[in-house]
Amino acid sequence: MAELLKIEHITKKFGNLVANEDVSFSVGENEIVSLIGPNGAGKTTLFNSIAGYYPPTEGKVYFQGQDITGKPAYDICKMGITRTFQVVKTLKEMTVEENVMTGAFLHTGSRRQAKKDAEGILEMTGLLDKRNVKGGSLTIIDKKRVEIARAMATRPKLLMLDECMAGLNQTEIKDVMNLCVKLKEEGLSLLIVEHIMEAIMPISDRIVVLNAGKKIAEGLPEEIVNNEEVIRAYLGDRYNAESKKS
Ligand SMILES: Nc1ncnc2c1ncn2[C@@H]1O[C@H](COP(=O)(O)OP(=O)(O)O)[C@@H](O)[C@H]1O
Ligand SMILES: [Mg+2]
């Protein structure tokens, strides 16, 4: 599998606090990789270093073989990495369609083209019938859909989702899982931060585990759920591999 994203020895310090320490892994083309670990493990910080919200203190980020370490977020997004935020950032006064169009404007100055781009994405994300609804009056699941749709409109090759399933009910989680699989079928790669194991286990090709800033494991979902250190540091009773076999 061709490598799309590769991070090497990423360390991020905030003063004396080491939020990421010597983290290395890669995401292949057309692959879903999930990043898991306890709160404060450094998952969002890693997203920020990759997406160019700030440079890592040490280490390198490569995208399609090119060193993008420390490049500004706008440039990185233009190259094909887009992330969503843990706290949804729906533009309240804009309609759903306009929200999605803001993503498309990364590539086009034409309103007509942006509208056209948005239309296909609204359909794929199940938002077409709500295109004229204001962002502020949406339910949480639709706000998350808008967040993903707007990210899609930037035409990413790698989409990074930060806890986009939190606060959703079972049916809605299934919806987002299906959407992730659909995006993979469209040729995208996904890097997903998520706590809901039942959701990420079936859709992830590989899982990377962070604890206290460090990578403690990496492997196939079935390897991760049976990894003693991962169970101790994070999974505990959260996900019992044995019970899932029955
Ligand atoms: N901008 C920042 N300034 C100072 N400390 C930060 C900043 N961002 C994150 N941290 C700290 O870095 C650690 C990792 O945080 P974070 O990446 O948000 O973890 P996670 O997303 O895994 O819950 C935490 O201790 C957090 O308080
Ligand atoms: Mg986080």
Are 158 and 191 in contact by the 8 Å Cβ rule? The answer is yes
The atom number, within ligand 1, closest to the CA of 86 reads 21
Residue 125 within a domain:
yes
**In angstroms, how far is CA 171 from the centroid of its own chain?**
20
Q: What is the mean pLDDT of residues 88-96?
A: 86
Ligand 1 neighbours, Cβ below 6 Å, are 14, 17, 19, 37, 39-45
pLDDT at 53 over 50: yes
Residue 151 within a domain:
yes
Mean pLDDT across the chain: 93
Please indicate, yes or no, whether residues 76 and 188 belong to a single structural domain of this protein. yes
The atom number, within ligand 1, closest to the CA of 48 reads 17
Of residues 89 and 104, more confidence is placed in: 104
Identify the top-confidence range among 20-24, 104-108, 240-244.
20-24
Closest to 180 measured CA to CA, from 125, 244, 123 = 125
pLDDT at 238 over 80: no
Token code pair at residue 223:
């390897």
Are 66 and 225 in contact by the 8 Å Cβ rule? The answer is no
Residue 51 within a domain:
yes
Closest to 161 measured CA to CA, from 53, 36, 38, 54 = 36
Residue 103 within a domain:
yes
CATH code for the domain in which residue 57 is found:
3.40.50.300
pLDDT of residue 133: 96
Q: CA 36, 39, 41 angle in degrees (round to 5)?
A: 65
The atom number, within ligand 1, closest to the CA of 14 reads 4
pLDDT of residue 223: 96
Report which protein residue has its CA nearest ligand 1's atom 12: 19
Q: What single-letter DSSP state applies at residue 39?
A: T
Kindly give the distance from the C-alpha atom of residue 121 to the centroid of ligand 1, in angstroms, as a whole number.
32
Report which protein residue has its CA nearest ligand 1's atom 1: 14
Please indicate, yes or no, whether residues 97 and 216 belong to a single structural domain of this protein. no
pLDDT of residue 244: 54
pLDDT at 222 over 60: yes
Are 133 and 93 in contact by the 8 Å Cβ rule? The answer is no
**Size of the chain in residues:** 246
Q: What is the mean pLDDT of residues 68-95?
A: 90
Measured distance between the N- and C-terminal CA atoms of the chain, rounded to whole angstroms? 32
Query: What is the total count of domains within the chain?
Result: 2
Kindly give the distance from the C-alpha atom of residue 62 to the centroid of ligand 1, in angstroms, as a whole number.
23
pLDDT in tens, 141-176: 899 999 999 999 999 999 999 998 988 999 999 999
pLDDT in tens, 14-46: 999 999 999 999 999 999 999 999 999 999 999
Token look-up 């057309």 returns: 30
Side chain identity, residue 232: R
Residues pairing with 11 in the sheet: 58
Report which protein residue has its CA nearest ligand 1's atom 18: 44
Please indicate, yes or no, whether residues 68 and 160 belong to a single structural domain of this protein. yes
Please indicate, yes or no, whether residues 75 and 3 belong to a single structural domain of this protein. yes
Residue 60: domain span:
1-80+156-168+182-246
Residue 173 within a domain:
no
The atom number, within ligand 1, closest to the CA of 162 reads 21
Residue 69 within a domain:
yes
